[in-house]
Structure 1
C-alpha cells in the first residue's frame, strides 16, 4: 500500500498539488488583477448582448442576473480560481508575479493589457473578414468534393 501511494504521488502532474502558501499568493494575485470587477463587467456585458440579441428575454433579466451571480460570480468561483492558479504556479512564482504587478511597469501592464487584447482582437477580426471569400471558396470546393464522394 505504501509503495502504491509513493507511485501515485510520484506520477501526479506537477500542477496537481497546491499548498496554503500558493493559495494565499494566488488570492493576492487575483485581487491585484481585479478579477472580481473583471468578471462582474464580463457578466453584465454578456447579459446585455444576450438581451439585445433576444429582447424576449428582458422579463427574465433579474432571474438571469441572480443565476449568474450564484453560479458565475467571482465569489462563487473564487475557491476554484485560487486553486487553478495555486496548482499552476508555486508560491515563489506567484510572489514573483505579484512583485511584478506591484512595480510601475506591472501596474501599467494591468491598465494597458485589456486595450492591447481588444486591439489584437480587432486586427484578427479584420483579417478574417478580409479573407472570408477565401474561406468560403475553400468550403465550397470541399463541399463539392464531399458531394462527389457521396455519389460514388
Structure 2
C-alpha cells in the first residue's frame, strides 16, 4: 500500500465530503420544495388574498382603495415575493425530518384539503377568539383595576 501524503489525504477527505453533501439536499432546498408543494394549487396566494380581503373589510378607510391595496399585496405579499424569506424561516424553525414529513403530508389528499381549508379555519378561529375577548373584556378591566 502506498502511503498518502498530507495534502492528498485532505484532498480525498474534501472530495468525499463534498460528494456526500452534494447528494443530501440542504434544509433550504427541502424548505423550498415544501413551500412549492404547499403552493401547488396557489394556496399560499389564496391565504394572502383572503387576509388582504379581511383587512379591507375590517378597515373602512381601505375599502375605497381596494384595487390599490390588492395591487400592493400582489406585488409585495405574493408567494413569489415572500418565498425567499419563508424558505429561511421554515429551514430555521424545522428539522430536515420535519420538513420532509410535512412535505409528504402535503402531497396527500388530506394534506391538500387541509391547506385549502386552513385560511377559513384560521379566520373562524380568530373570529371566535375576538368574540371571547369582547365578552370577557370587562372582567379583565376589573381585574386590572383591582391591582
Normalising by the smaller structure, the TM-score range is 0.5 to 0.7
Q: Residues 6-26 of structure 1: CA distance to partner in whole angstroms, max 9, x if unpaired?
A: xxxxxxxxxxxxx96322322
Contact 2:37 2:106 in 1 (8 A): yes
Q: Give the TM-score normalised by the residue count of structure 1.
A: 0.58
2:69 and 2:108 map into 1 onto residues whose CA distance is: 39
Alignment partner of 1:80 out of 55, 76, 85: 85
2:29 counterpart residue number:
24
Structure 1 residue runs of 5 or longer lacking an equivalent are 1-18, 143-152
What's the CA shift for 1:38? Answer: 1.3
RMSD between superposed Cα atoms in Å: 3.0
* C-alpha distance after superposition, 1:75-126 (max 9, x if no partner): 2221111111122224333111111222344334334544544443344334
Find the counterpart in structure 2 of residue 120 from structure 1. Answer: 125
Q: Which residue pairs with 1:36 in the alignment?
A: 45
Aligned length: 120
CA distance in structure 2 between the aligned counterparts of 1:119 and 1:67, rounded to whole angstroms: 25
Q: 1:90 to 1:49 in 2, by over 3 A?
A: same
Alignment of 1:57-136 (within 5 A): 58=64, 60-136=65-141
Alignment partner of 1:49 is 2:54: no
